[in-house]
Amino acid sequence: MPSLCKYAANCPVFTAALGPLPHIGLRYRKAYCRGGWDECARFAVAEAVGRAGVPAGLLPNESQAARELVAAN
Ligand code: SF4
C-alpha cells in the first residue's frame, strides 16, 4: 500500500485548507493521509463518485456520511 493518499495534493485536509484547527488536521493527516487512507470517508466518496463529488467539509472519520453520499449517487 502506498504511504501517501493519491488525493493528498488536492485535498483540503492534507493541504490544511479545511479550517482553523491545525491540531485536528495533524491528527487526520497522520491517521489517514499517510497510510490509513483506505479508511478515509473522503477517499471512499472520491473513489465511488469522483473527487468533484466530495463535499468540501467532509471529514475523514465521517464514514456514515460517506456511505449516504455514495448510496445517493
Ligand atoms: S483526507 Fe482522505 S482523501 Fe484527503 S488526503 Fe487524507 S486520506 Fe486522502
Q: List, for residues 5-59, the tens digit of each pLDDT value.
A: 999 999 989 887 766 667 788 899 999 999 899 999 999 999 999 999 999 889 9
Strand, coil or helix: what is 4? Answer: coil
Q: Which of these, 56, 71, 44, lies nearest to 18 by C-alpha position?
A: 56
Instruction: Choose which residue among 1, 4, 7 to substitute to test ligand 1 binding: the one with the highest number of ligand atoms within 8 A of its C-beta.
Output: 7
Residue 1 forms part of a structural domain: no
Ligand 1 centroid from CA 37, angstroms:
6
Residue 45 Cα to chain centre, angstroms? 8
What total number of domains does the chain contain? Answer: 1
Q: What is the pTM of this model?
A: 0.90
Q: Is residue 37 part of a domain?
A: yes
- Say if 27 falls within a structural domain: yes
CA 44–ligand 1 middle distance (angstroms): 9
